[in-house]
Amino acid sequence: MRKFVLTLLIIVIPAMAIEEIQTPEQTIDAFLSSLKEGNVSEAYEGLFAGSPIREAKAQAFEALKKQTSTQLSLYGRVLGHELISKREFGESVVRFVYLLKTEKLPTVWIFHFYRPDLSWYLANVNFGDQLQVLDSFE
């Protein structure tokens, strides 16, 4: 019986840990969904979870939240989002380009994620309303 319990623990506990690790797509979807709900601060807290960037660049992190709130207030209600492209750079870096649809104008969001070991974290995020940037992702 002890062997069974030990074997079960060896199999179940790592499986549970793996299930809790979010993919970059899940992280981005949660982030953009939070923006749609108007929760900019919460959205960024989740997006940067596990990333050393948040602490290393605390002022830039706060400025990014303010910039996002200001920009989104100009464009109206968030309607949804679309994946434009995904590109992997080796096994450790991946770039996602998303379109955030709002009432007045879409914005382009570029996310870079890095995986130094088993889990991914956000390394960089940029956004803007210059739609011509999409031409470079064809």
Which listed CATH number (1.10.40.30, 3.20.20.70, 3.30.360.10, 3.10.450.50) goes with 22-137?
3.10.450.50
> Quick one: pLDDT at residue 112?
97
Residue 13 predicted with pLDDT over 50: no
pLDDT band at 58 (very low <50, low <70, confident <90, very high): confident
Could you read off the pLDDT of 75-113 as tens digits, one per residue?
A: 999 999 999 999 999 999 999 999 999 999 999 999 999
- CB-based contact 112:70 (threshold 8 Å): no
Residue 137 predicted with pLDDT over 50: yes
Give the chain as a DSSP string. -HHHHHHHHHHHHHHHHHHHSPPHHHHHHHHHHHHHTT-HHHHHHHHTTT-THHHHTHHHHHHHHHHHHHHHHHH-SEEEEEEEEEEEETTTEEEEEEEEEESS--EEEEEEEE-SSSS-EEEEEEEES-GGGGGGG-
Q: Do the bridges between strand 121-128 and strand 78-89 make them parallel or antiparallel, or are there none, so unpaired?
A: unpaired
Residue 10 predicted with pLDDT over 80: no
> Quick one: pLDDT at residue 16?
43
Average pLDDT over residues 30-53: 92
Residue 11 predicted with pLDDT over 80: no
111 vs 7: which has the higher pLDDT: 111
pTM of the model: 0.82
Average pLDDT over all residues of the chain: 86
